[in-house]
Amino acid sequence: MQDHAHVVILLGPPGAGKGTQSARLSAALGIPAISTGEILRAECQSGSDLGREVETVLARGELVDDQTMNELVTCRLRKSDCARGCILDGYPRTVAQARYLDTLNFAVPRIFDFIVSARDVIARLGGRKYCPECGQTFSTAQVCSRDGSPLIQREDDKPAVIRERLRVYRRNMDKLVRFYQSRDYHLIHATRAPDMVFEELLRLLDAGRPVRNSILTRSGAYA
Ligand code: ADP
C-alpha cells in the first residue's frame, strides 16, 4: 500500500448508514468499499464448510471469531484494487481485530464513528432488505439495482436478532472506541440526511489531519 493511501474505517451500530456512505466514499475516492457482512453472506451462499459455520453465528446475531475475520480481511486486502486504500465497513469490530489491522502495515487509518439514536436503528433495520443473489443491502428499494432480483429481509434483521446484535455491538464498541480515540478518530452525527453526512466525511477526509468534534457525545446513543 502506498503512503498516501486512504484507509477509512467506519464504526457504528447496525443501521447507522455505514453501507450507504461507504458506497459513496468508494465512488468519490476511487477505492473499494469492503463490507465484512457482505463477505460473510457471500461465504454462506457459497455453501462452503466455513459458510455453514458462519450462517449459524449470523443467525444468532453474534460475532464471527476474530481469527476467521482477520483471515478473510487479509485475503481481501491483498487484492490489487486495495493498493490505494479501501473503506472498511464492519471491520474491525473488536480490539483484537483492530490490533491485528495495525500489524498489517497499512496507511494510518482514519476512523469515523457513526452515532445514531436507538429509535432510528430499529426503524432503519426493520425496513431494510438485501439481494439474495449478490448480497447487497438496500434501505428502500424493492428490487436489486445490480441484477434486478426481488429483495428479501435479512434473517438477522428480524427483531429478536436485531436486539442481540445491538447488545453485542455495545459490548465491544466502548473498548474499540477507547482503542481508537487518541488517533485520527471522528464522531459523525449519522441521524442527519445522507447528503449531509457524506459532505462532512469528505470535508474531514480533505482536511487530512485529525479534527476533533467536541460537540457530539456518545452518551444516550447506540454508540
Ligand atoms: P450490521 O453492521 O448491520 O450488523 P453487517 O452486514 O456489517 O451488518 O454484519 C452482519 C453480521 O456479520 C454481524 O452481525 C456479525 O455477525 C458478522 N460480522 C460482520 N463483520 C464482522 C466482524 N468484523 N467481526 C465479527 N463478525 C462480523
Nine-digit cell at 161?
436478532
| Protein residue whose Cα sits closest to atom 11 of ligand 1 | 37
Calculate how far, in angstroms, residue 78's C-alpha sits from the geometric centre of ligand 1: 21
14 close to ligand 1 (CB < 6 Angstrom): yes
221 vs 77: CA distance, rounded Å: 31
Give the pLDDT of the chain (223 residues) as one tens digit per residue: 444 678 999 999 988 999 999 999 999 999 999 999 999 999 998 989 999 999 999 988 899 999 999 999 999 999 999 988 999 999 999 999 999 999 997 778 999 999 998 788 878 887 888 888 887 778 778 899 889 999 988 788 888 888 888 888 888 999 999 999 999 999 999 999 999 999 999 999 987 644 333 334 444 444 3
Q: Please report the DSSP string for 42-82 in residue order.
A: HHHHHT-HHHHHHHHHHHHT-PPPHHHHHHHHHHHHTSGGG
3-state SS track over 7-28? EEEEECCCCCCHHHHHHHHHHH
Q: Cell numbers at residue 116, please?
A: 445514531
What's the CA gap between 41 and 55, in Å, rounded?
8
117 phi/psi in degrees, rounded to 5: -70, 155
Across the beta sheet with 33-35, what order do the strands follow? 33-35, 85-89, 6-11, 109-115, 185-189
Active site residues: 18, 93, 128, 154, 165
In ligand 1, which atom is closest to the CA atom of 137? 6
Distances (CA, A) of 210 to 23, 145, 184: 23, 36, 5
CA 168 to ligand 1: nearest atom? 14
Q: What per-residue confidence (pLDDT) applies to 119?
A: 80
pLDDT of residue 2: 46
